[in-house]
Structure 1
Protein backbone atom coordinates (compact mmCIF):
# COMPACT_ATOMS: atom_id res chain seq x y z
CA UNK A 1 0.00 0.00 0.00
CA UNK A 2 1.08 3.56 -0.61
CA UNK A 3 0.67 4.47 3.07
CA UNK A 4 3.49 2.06 3.88
CA UNK A 5 5.74 4.03 1.53
CA UNK A 6 5.22 7.36 3.31
CA UNK A 7 7.29 7.55 6.49
CA UNK A 8 7.00 10.03 9.36
CA UNK A 9 9.31 12.99 8.96
CA UNK A 10 10.03 12.23 5.32
CA UNK A 11 9.89 14.79 2.55
CA UNK A 12 6.52 13.32 1.51
CA UNK A 13 4.94 13.25 4.96
CA UNK A 14 1.73 15.31 4.96
CA UNK A 15 2.18 16.49 1.37
CA UNK A 16 -1.08 17.08 -0.49
CA UNK A 17 0.14 18.49 -3.82
CA UNK A 18 3.32 17.57 -5.71
CA UNK A 19 4.75 19.04 -8.92
CA UNK A 20 7.23 16.91 -10.90
CA UNK A 21 9.48 18.86 -13.28
CA UNK A 22 10.86 16.78 -16.17
CA UNK A 23 12.68 17.48 -19.41
CA UNK A 24 11.19 15.19 -22.06
CA UNK A 25 8.23 12.85 -22.53
CA UNK A 26 9.06 9.46 -20.94
CA UNK A 27 11.38 10.94 -18.27
CA UNK A 28 8.45 11.23 -15.88
CA UNK A 29 7.62 7.53 -16.23
CA UNK A 30 11.14 6.10 -16.28
CA UNK A 31 12.45 8.09 -13.32
CA UNK A 32 9.36 8.66 -11.16
CA UNK A 33 6.44 6.71 -12.62
CA UNK A 34 5.90 4.41 -9.65
CA UNK A 35 6.03 7.34 -7.23
CA UNK A 36 3.56 9.37 -9.33
CA UNK A 37 1.13 6.44 -9.43
CA UNK A 38 1.51 5.78 -5.71
CA UNK A 39 0.88 9.38 -4.75
CA UNK A 40 -2.11 9.66 -7.08
CA UNK A 41 -3.63 6.48 -5.63
CA UNK A 42 -3.18 7.88 -2.14
CA UNK A 43 -5.18 10.97 -3.12
CA UNK A 44 -2.26 13.37 -3.50
CA UNK A 45 -2.81 15.91 -6.29
CA UNK A 46 0.00 15.31 -8.80
CA UNK A 47 1.09 17.57 -11.65
CA UNK A 48 3.79 16.94 -14.23
CA UNK A 49 5.56 19.79 -15.99
CA UNK A 50 7.41 18.74 -19.15
CA UNK A 51 9.95 21.17 -20.59
CA UNK A 52 10.15 19.93 -24.20
CA UNK A 53 8.43 17.56 -26.59
CA UNK A 54 11.56 15.45 -27.04
CA UNK A 55 11.88 16.59 -30.64
CA UNK A 56 15.36 15.16 -30.99
CA UNK A 57 14.68 11.72 -29.61
CA UNK A 58 15.55 8.70 -31.72
CA UNK A 59 12.65 6.44 -32.60
CA UNK A 60 12.26 2.71 -32.05
CA UNK A 61 12.10 1.18 -35.55
CA UNK A 62 8.54 0.38 -36.58
CA UNK A 63 6.91 2.26 -33.70
CA UNK A 64 5.94 5.27 -35.82
CA UNK A 65 5.57 5.87 -39.56
CA UNK A 66 8.91 6.31 -41.31
CA UNK A 67 10.10 9.77 -42.28
CA UNK A 68 8.31 11.78 -39.59
CA UNK A 69 9.40 15.39 -39.48
CA UNK A 70 10.10 17.08 -36.15
CA UNK A 71 6.60 18.53 -35.88
CA UNK A 72 4.88 15.17 -36.33
CA UNK A 73 7.35 13.44 -34.01
CA UNK A 74 6.57 16.06 -31.38
CA UNK A 75 2.84 15.42 -31.77
CA UNK A 76 3.37 11.67 -31.46
CA UNK A 77 5.39 12.10 -28.29
CA UNK A 78 2.76 14.43 -26.83
CA UNK A 79 0.17 11.70 -27.40
CA UNK A 80 2.41 9.08 -25.81
CA UNK A 81 2.94 11.30 -22.79
CA UNK A 82 -0.78 11.91 -22.34
CA UNK A 83 -1.48 8.18 -22.50
CA UNK A 84 1.30 7.39 -20.00
CA UNK A 85 0.06 10.00 -17.53
CA UNK A 86 -3.45 8.55 -17.75
CA UNK A 87 -2.01 5.18 -16.72
CA UNK A 88 -0.15 6.79 -13.80
CA UNK A 89 -3.09 8.85 -12.63
CA UNK A 90 -1.50 12.33 -12.75
CA UNK A 91 -4.30 14.88 -12.71
CA UNK A 92 -2.54 17.91 -14.22
CA UNK A 93 -0.01 18.34 -17.01
CA UNK A 94 1.58 21.32 -18.73
CA UNK A 95 4.40 22.02 -21.15
CA UNK A 96 6.92 24.63 -20.06
CA UNK A 97 6.36 27.89 -21.91
CA UNK A 98 2.64 27.25 -22.37
CA UNK A 99 0.02 28.49 -19.89
CA UNK A 100 -0.24 27.82 -17.02
CA UNK A 101 3.54 27.31 -17.13
CA UNK A 102 4.27 30.65 -18.79
CA UNK A 103 5.11 33.95 -17.09
CA UNK A 104 5.00 36.03 -20.28
CA UNK A 105 1.89 36.81 -22.32
CA UNK A 106 3.47 35.28 -25.42
CA UNK A 107 3.77 31.47 -25.25
CA UNK A 108 7.14 29.90 -26.01
CA UNK A 109 8.03 26.42 -27.19
CA UNK A 110 11.26 25.13 -25.66
CA UNK A 111 12.96 22.52 -27.85
CA UNK A 112 14.89 19.43 -26.88
CA UNK A 113 18.56 20.44 -26.68
CA UNK A 114 19.83 17.02 -27.71
CA UNK A 115 22.89 15.35 -26.22
CA UNK A 116 25.99 13.39 -27.08
CA UNK A 117 27.48 10.47 -25.20
CA UNK A 118 30.76 11.33 -23.47
CA UNK A 119 31.16 7.77 -22.24
CA UNK A 120 28.87 4.91 -21.32
CA UNK A 121 26.19 6.20 -18.98
CA UNK A 122 27.24 9.86 -19.14
CA UNK A 123 25.83 12.39 -21.60
CA UNK A 124 26.94 15.89 -22.45
CA UNK A 125 25.78 18.74 -24.69
CA UNK A 126 25.03 18.15 -28.35
CA UNK A 127 27.18 20.14 -30.81
CA UNK A 128 24.08 21.50 -32.57
CA UNK A 129 21.52 22.42 -29.93
CA UNK A 130 20.19 25.40 -31.85
CA UNK A 131 18.68 28.75 -30.76
CA UNK A 132 15.30 27.26 -29.77
CA UNK A 133 16.83 24.66 -27.45
CA UNK A 134 15.98 24.72 -23.77
CA UNK A 135 19.64 25.19 -22.89
CA UNK A 136 19.85 28.22 -25.19
CA UNK A 137 17.09 30.00 -23.28
CA UNK A 138 17.68 32.63 -20.64
CA UNK A 139 17.64 30.71 -17.37
CA UNK A 140 15.67 33.52 -15.75
CA UNK A 141 12.89 32.93 -18.27
CA UNK A 142 12.83 29.21 -17.52
CA UNK A 143 12.72 29.93 -13.78
CA UNK A 144 9.83 32.38 -14.28
CA UNK A 145 7.86 29.84 -16.30
CA UNK A 146 8.30 27.16 -13.65
CA UNK A 147 7.26 29.81 -11.14
CA UNK A 148 4.06 30.47 -13.09
CA UNK A 149 3.18 26.79 -12.82
CA UNK A 150 3.92 26.88 -9.10
CA UNK A 151 1.60 29.86 -8.67
CA UNK A 152 -1.24 28.10 -10.52
CA UNK A 153 -0.89 24.60 -9.08
CA UNK A 154 0.26 25.62 -5.58
CA UNK A 155 2.32 22.49 -4.82
CA UNK A 156 3.60 21.58 -1.38
CA UNK A 157 6.70 20.01 -2.94
CA UNK A 158 8.71 20.15 -6.18
CA UNK A 159 10.56 17.08 -7.46
CA UNK A 160 13.18 17.20 -10.23
CA UNK A 161 16.67 16.00 -11.15
CA UNK A 162 19.89 16.11 -9.16
CA UNK A 163 22.83 18.29 -10.15
CA UNK A 164 24.10 15.65 -12.57
CA UNK A 165 20.76 15.38 -14.31
CA UNK A 166 20.61 11.65 -13.66
CA UNK A 167 22.96 10.80 -16.51
CA UNK A 168 24.19 14.21 -17.60
CA UNK A 169 21.62 15.28 -20.18
CA UNK A 170 21.99 19.08 -20.42
CA UNK A 171 18.23 19.66 -20.28
CA UNK A 172 18.04 17.69 -17.02
CA UNK A 173 20.94 19.63 -15.53
CA UNK A 174 19.38 22.98 -16.45
CA UNK A 175 16.06 21.99 -14.89
CA UNK A 176 17.80 21.00 -11.66
CA UNK A 177 19.08 24.53 -11.22
CA UNK A 178 15.94 26.25 -12.53
CA UNK A 179 13.61 24.22 -10.31
CA UNK A 180 15.65 25.02 -7.21
CA UNK A 181 15.62 28.71 -8.10
CA UNK A 182 11.87 28.72 -8.75
CA UNK A 183 11.18 26.81 -5.54
CA UNK A 184 13.25 29.20 -3.45
CA UNK A 185 11.54 32.20 -5.00
CA UNK A 186 8.12 30.72 -4.20
CA UNK A 187 9.07 29.29 -0.81
CA UNK A 188 8.25 25.73 -1.90
CA UNK A 189 10.54 22.86 -0.83
CA UNK A 190 12.47 20.95 -3.47
CA UNK A 191 13.58 17.32 -3.57
CA UNK A 192 15.96 15.86 -6.12
CA UNK A 193 15.92 12.38 -7.67
CA UNK A 194 19.18 10.71 -6.72
CA UNK A 195 21.00 7.42 -7.41
CA UNK A 196 21.12 4.57 -4.92
CA UNK A 197 24.53 5.49 -3.58
CA UNK A 198 23.59 9.06 -2.67
CA UNK A 199 23.93 10.03 1.00
CA UNK A 200 20.93 11.37 2.93
CA UNK A 201 18.48 9.90 0.40
CA UNK A 202 14.98 8.81 1.38
CA UNK A 203 13.77 5.66 -0.36
CA UNK A 204 10.14 5.29 -1.49
CA UNK A 205 9.28 1.82 -2.70
CA UNK A 206 5.98 1.31 -4.51
CA UNK A 207 5.96 -2.30 -5.76
CA UNK A 208 2.16 -2.30 -5.89
CA UNK A 209 2.38 0.21 -8.73
CA UNK A 210 4.44 -2.05 -11.00
CA UNK A 211 1.58 -2.98 -13.33
CA UNK A 212 0.54 0.66 -13.81
CA UNK A 213 4.18 1.59 -14.36
CA UNK A 214 4.68 -1.09 -17.01
CA UNK A 215 1.52 0.06 -18.80
CA UNK A 216 2.75 3.65 -18.72
CA UNK A 217 6.20 2.67 -20.00
CA UNK A 218 4.61 0.74 -22.85
CA UNK A 219 2.79 3.92 -23.91
CA UNK A 220 6.18 5.46 -24.75
CA UNK A 221 6.65 2.93 -27.55
CA UNK A 222 8.61 5.30 -29.81
CA UNK A 223 11.36 5.58 -27.20
CA UNK A 224 11.63 2.27 -25.38
CA UNK A 225 10.57 -1.35 -25.16
CA UNK A 226 9.60 -3.25 -22.02
CA UNK A 227 11.44 -6.56 -21.89
CA UNK A 228 10.60 -8.53 -18.76
CA UNK A 229 12.01 -6.63 -15.81
CA UNK A 230 14.00 -4.24 -18.00
CA UNK A 231 13.54 -1.16 -20.14
CA UNK A 232 15.37 -1.31 -23.46
CA UNK A 233 16.03 2.18 -24.77
CA UNK A 234 16.02 3.09 -28.44
CA UNK A 235 19.82 3.00 -28.45
CA UNK A 236 19.88 -0.52 -27.02
CA UNK A 237 20.78 0.44 -23.45
CA UNK A 238 19.05 -1.65 -20.80
CA UNK A 239 18.03 -0.63 -17.31
CA UNK A 240 15.79 -2.27 -14.71
CA UNK A 241 12.24 -1.05 -14.29
CA UNK A 242 12.31 0.99 -11.09
CA UNK A 243 9.50 0.89 -8.57
CA UNK A 244 11.65 2.59 -5.95
CA UNK A 245 12.43 6.32 -6.07
CA UNK A 246 15.19 7.90 -4.02
CA UNK A 247 14.75 11.54 -3.07
CA UNK A 248 16.97 13.97 -1.24
CA UNK A 249 15.66 17.22 0.18
CA UNK A 250 17.41 20.33 -1.14
CA UNK A 251 15.23 22.95 0.50
CA UNK A 252 12.69 22.37 3.23
CA UNK A 253 9.62 24.55 3.52
CA UNK A 254 10.27 27.92 5.09
CA UNK A 255 8.12 29.03 8.00
Structure 2
Protein backbone atom coordinates (compact mmCIF):
# COMPACT_ATOMS: atom_id res chain seq x y z
CA UNK A 1 0.00 0.00 0.00
CA UNK A 2 2.40 2.66 1.19
CA UNK A 3 5.07 1.98 -1.42
CA UNK A 4 3.48 4.73 -3.53
CA UNK A 5 4.64 7.23 -0.94
CA UNK A 6 8.21 6.30 -1.83
CA UNK A 7 7.63 7.24 -5.46
CA UNK A 8 8.31 10.65 -6.97
CA UNK A 9 5.76 10.80 -9.83
CA UNK A 10 2.57 8.75 -9.81
CA UNK A 11 0.14 8.55 -12.74
CA UNK A 12 -3.56 7.84 -12.18
CA UNK A 13 -5.54 6.57 -15.18
CA UNK A 14 -9.29 7.19 -15.05
CA UNK A 15 -12.23 6.85 -17.41
CA UNK A 16 -14.27 10.03 -17.02
CA UNK A 17 -14.15 13.44 -15.34
CA UNK A 18 -15.09 12.98 -11.65
CA UNK A 19 -13.69 9.43 -11.40
CA UNK A 20 -10.33 10.67 -10.16
CA UNK A 21 -12.05 12.35 -7.20
CA UNK A 22 -14.81 9.84 -6.52
CA UNK A 23 -12.61 6.75 -6.76
CA UNK A 24 -9.18 7.95 -5.62
CA UNK A 25 -9.45 11.56 -4.43
CA UNK A 26 -8.28 10.89 -0.88
CA UNK A 27 -5.31 8.88 -2.12
CA UNK A 28 -4.35 11.61 -4.60
CA UNK A 29 -4.65 14.26 -1.91
CA UNK A 30 -2.48 12.27 0.51
CA UNK A 31 0.21 11.71 -2.12
CA UNK A 32 0.21 15.40 -3.00
CA UNK A 33 0.40 16.35 0.68
CA UNK A 34 3.48 14.14 1.04
CA UNK A 35 5.20 15.86 -1.87
CA UNK A 36 4.59 13.23 -4.54
CA UNK A 37 3.96 14.69 -7.99
CA UNK A 38 0.66 13.34 -9.29
CA UNK A 39 -0.72 13.26 -12.84
CA UNK A 40 -4.22 12.30 -13.92
CA UNK A 41 -4.91 10.88 -17.38
CA UNK A 42 -8.62 10.92 -18.25
CA UNK A 43 -9.70 8.64 -21.07
CA UNK A 44 -12.98 10.29 -22.10
CA UNK A 45 -14.91 13.46 -21.42
CA UNK A 46 -17.96 11.67 -20.04
CA UNK A 47 -20.02 12.66 -23.05
CA UNK A 48 -22.87 10.33 -22.16
CA UNK A 49 -23.24 11.51 -18.60
CA UNK A 50 -26.64 12.81 -17.53
CA UNK A 51 -26.90 16.31 -16.09
CA UNK A 52 -28.24 17.27 -12.68
CA UNK A 53 -31.52 19.16 -12.77
CA UNK A 54 -30.99 22.87 -12.26
CA UNK A 55 -29.00 25.67 -13.87
CA UNK A 56 -26.82 23.30 -15.93
CA UNK A 57 -29.62 21.07 -17.20
CA UNK A 58 -29.55 22.80 -20.59
CA UNK A 59 -26.13 21.21 -21.25
CA UNK A 60 -27.57 17.70 -21.50
CA UNK A 61 -26.99 16.20 -24.92
CA UNK A 62 -25.17 19.25 -26.28
CA UNK A 63 -21.56 19.77 -27.40
CA UNK A 64 -21.24 22.35 -24.63
CA UNK A 65 -21.41 19.57 -22.04
CA UNK A 66 -18.04 18.28 -23.23
CA UNK A 67 -16.36 21.65 -22.78
CA UNK A 68 -18.02 22.08 -19.39
CA UNK A 69 -16.78 18.71 -18.17
CA UNK A 70 -13.26 19.59 -19.31
CA UNK A 71 -13.46 22.61 -17.04
CA UNK A 72 -14.84 20.56 -14.17
CA UNK A 73 -11.99 18.04 -14.21
CA UNK A 74 -9.40 20.78 -14.47
CA UNK A 75 -10.81 22.55 -11.41
CA UNK A 76 -11.16 19.35 -9.38
CA UNK A 77 -7.62 18.23 -10.16
CA UNK A 78 -6.23 21.62 -9.16
CA UNK A 79 -8.13 21.39 -5.86
CA UNK A 80 -6.62 17.97 -5.12
CA UNK A 81 -3.10 19.23 -5.80
CA UNK A 82 -2.73 17.67 -9.25
CA UNK A 83 -0.60 19.82 -11.53
CA UNK A 84 -0.54 17.51 -14.56
CA UNK A 85 -3.66 16.46 -16.41
CA UNK A 86 -4.29 15.19 -19.94
CA UNK A 87 -6.92 13.43 -22.01
CA UNK A 88 -6.06 10.09 -23.57
CA UNK A 89 -5.24 10.41 -27.26
CA UNK A 90 -4.33 14.08 -27.01
CA UNK A 91 -0.98 15.87 -26.77
CA UNK A 92 1.64 13.77 -24.92
CA UNK A 93 -0.93 10.98 -24.53
CA UNK A 94 -0.77 9.53 -28.03
CA UNK A 95 1.64 6.89 -29.28
CA UNK A 96 4.35 8.18 -31.61
CA UNK A 97 3.43 8.31 -35.27
CA UNK A 98 -0.34 8.22 -34.73
CA UNK A 99 -2.66 11.18 -35.35
CA UNK A 100 -4.47 12.59 -32.30
CA UNK A 101 -7.74 10.87 -31.48
CA UNK A 102 -10.58 11.41 -29.07
CA UNK A 103 -11.82 8.45 -27.08
CA UNK A 104 -15.48 8.89 -26.19
CA UNK A 105 -17.65 7.70 -23.32
CA UNK A 106 -19.07 4.21 -23.94
CA UNK A 107 -22.12 4.66 -21.76
CA UNK A 108 -23.49 1.99 -19.44
CA UNK A 109 -26.62 0.32 -18.14
CA UNK A 110 -27.55 -0.59 -14.59
CA UNK A 111 -27.69 -4.35 -14.04
CA UNK A 112 -29.51 -4.39 -10.73
CA UNK A 113 -32.50 -2.69 -9.15
CA UNK A 114 -30.35 -0.89 -6.59
CA UNK A 115 -28.41 0.80 -9.43
CA UNK A 116 -25.03 -0.03 -7.92
CA UNK A 117 -23.69 -2.51 -10.50
CA UNK A 118 -23.17 -1.36 -14.07
CA UNK A 119 -22.54 -3.13 -17.34
CA UNK A 120 -22.39 -2.37 -21.06
CA UNK A 121 -25.06 -0.13 -22.51
CA UNK A 122 -26.20 0.11 -26.12
CA UNK A 123 -24.86 3.54 -27.07
CA UNK A 124 -21.12 2.93 -27.49
CA UNK A 125 -20.01 4.39 -30.82
CA UNK A 126 -17.04 3.57 -33.03
CA UNK A 127 -14.86 6.13 -31.23
CA UNK A 128 -15.77 4.88 -27.75
CA UNK A 129 -13.17 3.61 -25.36
CA UNK A 130 -14.63 0.11 -25.33
CA UNK A 131 -14.50 -0.03 -29.14
CA UNK A 132 -10.79 0.81 -29.22
CA UNK A 133 -8.00 -1.68 -29.63
CA UNK A 134 -6.65 -2.30 -26.09
CA UNK A 135 -3.11 -2.29 -27.50
CA UNK A 136 -3.66 1.22 -28.85
CA UNK A 137 -5.03 2.36 -25.50
CA UNK A 138 -2.02 0.86 -23.73
CA UNK A 139 0.40 2.57 -26.14
CA UNK A 140 -1.25 5.93 -25.51
CA UNK A 141 -1.10 5.47 -21.74
CA UNK A 142 2.55 4.48 -22.01
CA UNK A 143 3.27 7.58 -24.11
CA UNK A 144 1.89 9.84 -21.39
CA UNK A 145 3.61 7.89 -18.63
CA UNK A 146 6.92 8.52 -20.38
CA UNK A 147 6.14 12.19 -21.03
CA UNK A 148 5.24 12.70 -17.36
CA UNK A 149 8.12 10.57 -16.11
CA UNK A 150 5.84 8.33 -14.06
CA UNK A 151 7.49 5.86 -11.73
CA UNK A 152 4.17 4.13 -10.91
CA UNK A 153 0.75 3.80 -12.56
CA UNK A 154 -2.54 3.43 -10.68
CA UNK A 155 -5.91 2.46 -12.15
CA UNK A 156 -8.96 0.28 -11.59
CA UNK A 157 -9.01 -3.40 -10.80
CA UNK A 158 -10.57 -5.84 -13.26
CA UNK A 159 -14.09 -5.09 -11.96
CA UNK A 160 -13.68 -1.37 -12.49
CA UNK A 161 -15.16 -0.23 -9.20
CA UNK A 162 -18.84 -0.69 -9.95
CA UNK A 163 -18.52 -2.36 -13.34
CA UNK A 164 -18.71 0.59 -15.74
CA UNK A 165 -17.43 -0.76 -19.06
CA UNK A 166 -15.00 2.14 -19.50
CA UNK A 167 -13.49 1.46 -16.08
CA UNK A 168 -13.16 -2.23 -16.89
CA UNK A 169 -11.64 -1.40 -20.27
CA UNK A 170 -8.79 0.57 -18.68
CA UNK A 171 -7.54 -2.12 -16.33
CA UNK A 172 -5.61 -4.31 -18.77
CA UNK A 173 -4.20 -1.45 -20.91
CA UNK A 174 -3.02 0.45 -17.82
CA UNK A 175 -1.34 -2.69 -16.54
CA UNK A 176 0.22 -3.32 -19.96
CA UNK A 177 1.43 0.28 -20.18
CA UNK A 178 3.15 -0.01 -16.80
CA UNK A 179 4.90 -3.15 -18.00
CA UNK A 180 5.94 -1.44 -21.24
CA UNK A 181 7.38 1.56 -19.41
CA UNK A 182 8.93 -0.61 -16.71
CA UNK A 183 7.16 0.80 -13.65
CA UNK A 184 4.92 -0.81 -11.02
CA UNK A 185 1.17 -1.04 -11.56
CA UNK A 186 -1.19 -0.75 -8.62
CA UNK A 187 -4.93 -1.40 -8.85
CA UNK A 188 -7.49 0.23 -6.60
CA UNK A 189 -9.64 -2.51 -5.12
CA UNK A 190 -13.32 -2.15 -5.95
CA UNK A 191 -14.04 -2.83 -2.27
CA UNK A 192 -11.53 -1.67 0.32
CA UNK A 193 -10.11 -4.33 2.63
CA UNK A 194 -10.51 -3.10 6.22
CA UNK A 195 -7.41 -5.08 7.20
CA UNK A 196 -5.27 -3.53 4.45
CA UNK A 197 -6.45 -0.02 3.76
CA UNK A 198 -5.24 3.54 3.73
CA UNK A 199 -7.61 5.83 5.61
CA UNK A 200 -7.65 9.51 4.63
CA UNK A 201 -10.53 11.11 6.58
CA UNK A 202 -8.43 14.24 7.07
CA UNK A 203 -8.93 15.02 3.38
CA UNK A 204 -12.73 14.94 3.46
CA UNK A 205 -13.10 18.76 3.34
CA UNK A 206 -10.77 18.87 0.33
CA UNK A 207 -12.72 16.09 -1.39
CA UNK A 208 -15.98 17.95 -0.77
CA UNK A 209 -14.47 21.05 -2.36
CA UNK A 210 -13.19 19.10 -5.37
CA UNK A 211 -16.49 17.31 -5.88
CA UNK A 212 -18.45 20.56 -5.83
CA UNK A 213 -16.74 21.40 -9.10
CA UNK A 214 -18.79 18.57 -10.64
CA UNK A 215 -22.12 20.36 -10.30
CA UNK A 216 -23.26 18.96 -13.64
CA UNK A 217 -22.91 15.38 -12.39
CA UNK A 218 -23.57 15.25 -8.67
CA UNK A 219 -24.47 17.10 -5.50
CA UNK A 220 -22.39 17.13 -2.33
CA UNK A 221 -24.52 16.53 0.76
CA UNK A 222 -22.36 16.46 3.84
CA UNK A 223 -20.13 13.38 3.73
CA UNK A 224 -22.12 11.93 0.82
CA UNK A 225 -22.53 12.60 -2.86
CA UNK A 226 -25.88 12.28 -4.57
CA UNK A 227 -25.49 11.24 -8.18
CA UNK A 228 -27.60 12.49 -11.05
CA UNK A 229 -29.79 9.39 -10.87
CA UNK A 230 -30.43 9.92 -7.15
CA UNK A 231 -28.00 7.29 -5.87
CA UNK A 232 -26.38 8.31 -2.59
CA UNK A 233 -22.78 7.30 -1.95
CA UNK A 234 -20.41 8.11 0.94
CA UNK A 235 -17.39 10.12 -0.18
CA UNK A 236 -14.60 7.56 -0.24
CA UNK A 237 -11.73 8.11 2.15
CA UNK A 238 -10.55 4.49 2.48
CA UNK A 239 -8.54 2.77 -0.24
CA UNK A 240 -6.89 -0.58 -0.77
CA UNK A 241 -4.16 -0.85 -3.41
CA UNK A 242 -3.01 -4.18 -4.76
CA UNK A 243 -0.43 -5.57 -7.13
CA UNK A 244 -2.39 -7.82 -9.51
Report the TM-score, using the length of structure 2 for normalisation.
Answer: 0.94
SS state at 1:78 partner:
helix
Q: Does 1:205 align with 2:199?
A: yes
Q: Deviations over 1:95-145 (max 9, x none)?
A: 000011111441100000000111131111111211111111111110110
Q: Does 1:235 align with 2:200?
A: no
* Corresponding position of 1:216: 210
SS state at 2:13 partner:
strand
Q: Does 1:57 align with 2:49?
A: yes
Structure 1 segment 35-74 matched on structure 2, within 5 A? 35-66=27-58, 68-74=60-66
SS state at 1:11 partner:
helix
Q: How many aligned positions are there?
A: 241
* Corresponding position of 1:4: none
SS state at 2:243 partner:
strand
Rounded to whole Å, the distance in 1 between the matches of 2:163 and 2:70 is: 23
User: Which sections of structure 2, spanning at least 5 residues, go unmatched?
Assistant: none
Structure 1 segment 35-114 matched on structure 2, within 5 A? 35-66=27-58, 68-103=60-95, 104-114=97-107
**109, 126, 129: which is aligned to 2:124?**
129
Rounded to whole Å, the distance in 2 between the matches of 1:204 and 1:20 is: 17
* Corresponding position of 2:178: 183
Rounded to whole Å, the distance in 2 between the matches of 1:196 and 1:132 is: 30
Aligned Cα RMSD in Å? Answer: 1.6
SS state at 1:239 partner:
strand
1:213 CA drift (Å): 0.8
1:196 CA drift (Å): 3.7
Q: Deviations over 1:172-198 (max 9, x none)?
A: 001011101111111111111114455
User: Which sections of structure 1, spanning at least 5 residues, go unmatched?
Assistant: 1-6, 251-255
Rounded to whole Å, the distance in 2 between the matches of 1:202 and 1:86 is: 29
Runs of 4+ residues deviating >2 angstroms: 67-70, 195-199
Report the TM-score, using the length of structure 1 for normalisation.
Answer: 0.90
